[in-house]
Amino acid sequence: MKIDFVIPWVDGNDLLWQKEKEKYDSSEVKDYTNSDMRYRDWGTLKYVMRSIEKNAPWYNKIYLITAGHYPEWLDLDSEKVELITHDELFFDTSHLPTFSSRAIEMNLPNLDKLADKFIHMNDDTLITKKVDINRFFIDDKPVDFLSHGWIPRNKLFEKLRGMNAWAYAIKNNLNLINKKFYPMNFNSKEIYHHTYSLKTKISNWIMQNMYKKFIWIEHWHHPTPYLKKTLVDVYNEFSDEMMKCSKNKFRTNDGLNPYIYRYWQLANHNFYPYKHNDGLFCKIENKDDIDKCLNDLDKYTLVCPNDSVPDTISEEEYIYIETKLIKKLDEMFFDKASFEK
C-alpha cells in the first residue's frame, strides 16, 4: 500500500518572498489568521519530516509544497521527497502569487503524482511514536471520526462569540457539503462508534434526527488521511467555489479550507470510524505554554506545538520559546533522515 505525505510549507524568512508579500498585503481581514505569526518559521519542518521517516517508515514519498524556496538541508535528488512549486500545483497560475495556505490547498486535486492514499500534514505537526498504517487507513478507507457540534454558528452566535476567517471558512465548507448531501443519513457504526463519548453520540443523534445536516464538526489538527479520489470528486463538484478561493492572496471571510475534503469523506460514508485520543495540540503563547507542552510531549503519538505567540511579545521571551522547542526536538529526532544532505 503506497501512502504519501503532503506538507505545504513557507519560508517566512525568505527576503525575496517577504518583499513580494509586502506588494500585495492589503488584506481586509486583520485577525490572527493573517497575522505575521502565520508565516513565522521556527525551523520545525526538518523535525516533522524526520518524525515521518522515523515513526512512519512505511511512507512512500513526501511532497513538499512551496513557493519555490526550500530548506538548505534538503537533498533535492532524494527519491523520498519531491518539491512541488505553486507554479506546478495551481490549476490557474494567474492566481499566483498567493500567501494563503487555503488557496494553495484548493489546488491539491491537481497533484496527479499523489498516491491513491495520502496524509495531509502541517509543518508544525510531529509523529512522536511509531505508528502503523492502520492508524490512518483500514479497509482502504481513511480512519476518521464524526463528532458533531451542539450550537449552530448563526448570526446570534457570531454576535455573542465573534468569528474569524478560519471559522467563516468552516461555515462556508459546511454550506457546500449540506447542499450536496442533505439530508444526512449515517449508519449506527459511523455515528455511535464505541470510541465516541456519550456526549458525541447524543450530539450525533441530534444531527441525524433533527438537523439532518452538518452545523459544526469537531476538528483534528493533526495528520489527516485522504483518498486522492476524494479531492478529485470535491473539485468536480465545487470547482467554481474552490477557484474563487484560489484567487485570494490572503485568507478572506468568503474562502474555504481543506476541511472541505474531510467533510466530503464523512458525508460520503468514505471513512473507517474510530476516534483515537492520541493527539496533543499545544497553543503556545508564552513561556508557560512551551514548558507545559514539552512536559506533555512524550505522552502522545501526534503532537502540534502551534505557534500562537502574539507579535507583541518581547524578543527575549520569543527566543526562549523557540530555542527551547528546537532543543527538545533535536533531542527527540537527532538522526539525519535519508533525504538530508
SS (H, E, C) 3-50: EEEEEECCCCCCHHHHHHHHHHCCCCCCCHHHCHHHCCCCCCHHHHHH
Three-class SS state of 191: helix
**What pLDDT was estimated at residue 33?**
54
Write the CA distances from 109 to 6, 82, 226, 301, 311, integer angstroms.
Answer: 12, 17, 11, 28, 34
**What pLDDT was estimated at residue 244?**
97
**pTM of the full structure:** 0.93
Q: In terms of DSSP bridges, do strands 126-127 and 137-138 run parallel, antiparallel, or are they unpaired?
A: unpaired
Q: Which of 340, 9, 283, 280 is nearest to 128 (CA)?
A: 280
* Number of CB atoms found within 10 A of residue 2's CB: 12
Is the distance from CB of 8 to CB of 103 less than 8 angstroms?
no
**What pLDDT was estimated at residue 224?**
97
Q: Which of 271, 262, 276 is nearest to 140 (CA)?
A: 271
**What pLDDT was estimated at residue 38?**
58
**What pLDDT was estimated at residue 280?**
94
Write out the CATH class of domain 3-146+217-332: alpha beta
Alpha-carbon span 247 to 296, nearest angstrom: 40
**What pLDDT was estimated at residue 34?**
52
**What pLDDT was estimated at residue 24?**
86
Q: In terms of DSSP bridges, do strands 117-120 and 224-227 run parallel, antiparallel, or are they unpaired?
A: antiparallel
**What pLDDT was estimated at residue 27?**
61
**What pLDDT was estimated at residue 178?**
97
**What pLDDT was estimated at residue 157?**
73
**What pLDDT was estimated at residue 162?**
74
Beta bridge partners of 340: 74
- What percent of the chain has a predicted confidence (pLDDT) above 70? 96
Q: What are the residue ranges in the chain where pLDDT is below 70?
A: 26-39
